[in-house]
Structure 1
Amino acid sequence: MSRIGKRPVPVPKSVTVTVDGQTVKAKGPKGELEFVVNELCRVALENDKISVEPVNLSKPARAQWGMNRTMIANMMAGVTEAFTKKLELVGVGYRAAMKGSALNLQLGFSHEIDFPVPKGVKIETPKPTEIVISGIDKQLVGETAAKIRAYRPPEPYKGKGVKYEGEYIFRKEGKKK
């Protein structure tokens, strides 16, 4: 039995939720989101709580149970307060700046990288070596941060690259003579 799936998702006062079959729509102060629950799970809205149950106790249904509940909980959190991810650029000459609707990255390559900002995500650069990604869709914010980090992941010898704020980079010792 799923410990996460058993708990109902509380609906905040500032959020309006509609459940239509397998589709859950949430509208709040930050925006609105929609999620289609897998057909192996049932979803119900009862007295300001959304409950998710598996259709049967098969292994695939139980596997989807907790994930669907978490996706709905992330929707509730996203429409009330936005999700943010911070990236840090470590390295000489590594910079980031917004150029129109694209993020311009200088990461030690012979060329600059222009990253188009996806719809529903807001990117800011308070410092040239810091990128702040925010939005109401947790999955989209995380995916955008991962794509930017993938251009130059941190390397273990000097620690240069794009890393998440607070991420620990395991350092290696260089070659010895």
Structure 2
Amino acid sequence: MSRIGYKPIEIPAGVEIKFNDGLVEVKGPKGNLSQKVGSGFNIKIEDKELVVERPSDSKNDRSLHGLYRTLVYNMVVGVTEGYKKQLEIVGTGYRAQKQGNKLNLSLGHSHPILLEDPEGILTEVPNERTIVVSGIDKQLVGDYTAKIRGFRPPEPYKGKGVKYSDEYVRRKVGKTGK
């Protein structure tokens, strides 16, 4: 039984939600988002609260109930507050620079890595060891930060690489000589 699916979503002031033919559209002060919802699922809006209703108690519908509720909730939070993830770069000579809408990464490869910001994503480089990725779509922000981290994930011996700011890198002891 999905308990999350039954939880109502409060609609903040300035947010407009439309639902028709399985498509949820959320408009807010930061932008617009839309998400397809499975057939049969219904969204009721009453008294500044939104409730996702499932069509039946089948196993598939029960498993998707909480998912669709969370996706709609993430859209509401995204258009009001937005999402932000921070990456840290650890290692000698590793650095990041912002050039217009491109991110230039020097991560110990034989060449610099140039990444163009996807539409709807904003990257900031407050210093050469920190990257801040922000946007209204939680999935896009997470995908882009994972892509950046994937070029040089942190290694366990010296901790070098690109890591999330709240990530703990478990360190290993190196070889011992005689």
The TM-score range, normalised by the shorter chain, is over 0.9
Structure 2 unaligned regions, length at least 5: none
Structure 1 segments, 4+ long, off by >6 Å, are none
* Aligned-residue offset at 1:116: 1.6
1:97–1:125 contact (8 Å) kept in structure 2: yes
CA distance in 1, matches of 2:174, 2:38: 49
CA distance in 1, matches of 2:120, 2:78: 12
* Aligned-residue offset at 1:47: 2.4
Give the structure 1 partner of residue 25 of structure 2. Answer: 25
One-letter amino acid of the counterpart of residue 103, structure 1: L
Structure 1 unaligned regions, length at least 5: none
TM-score, L = length of structure 2: 0.96
CA RMSD of aligned residues (A): 1.0
Paired residues in the alignment total 177
1:122 equivalent to 2:122? Answer yes
* SS of equivalent to 2:85: strand
Give the structure 2 partner of residue 2 of structure 1. Answer: 2
Give the structure 2 partner of residue 139 of structure 1. Answer: 139
- Per-residue CA deviations over 1:14-64 (Å, capped at 9, x if unaligned) read 111111131111111111111111125222222222111221111111111
- Per-residue CA deviations over 1:54-94 (Å, capped at 9, x if unaligned) read 21111111111001000100111111111000000000011
* SS of equivalent to 2:39: coil
- Per-residue CA deviations over 1:94-140 (Å, capped at 9, x if unaligned) read 11011222110000111100012100000000000100000000110
Give the structure 2 partner of residue 148 of structure 1. Answer: 148
TM-score, L = length of structure 1: 0.96
Give the structure 1 partner of residue 161 of structure 2. Answer: 161
Map 1:58-137 to 2 at 5 A.
Answer: 58-137=58-137
Same amino acid, percent of matched pairs: 49
* SS of equivalent to 1:73: helix
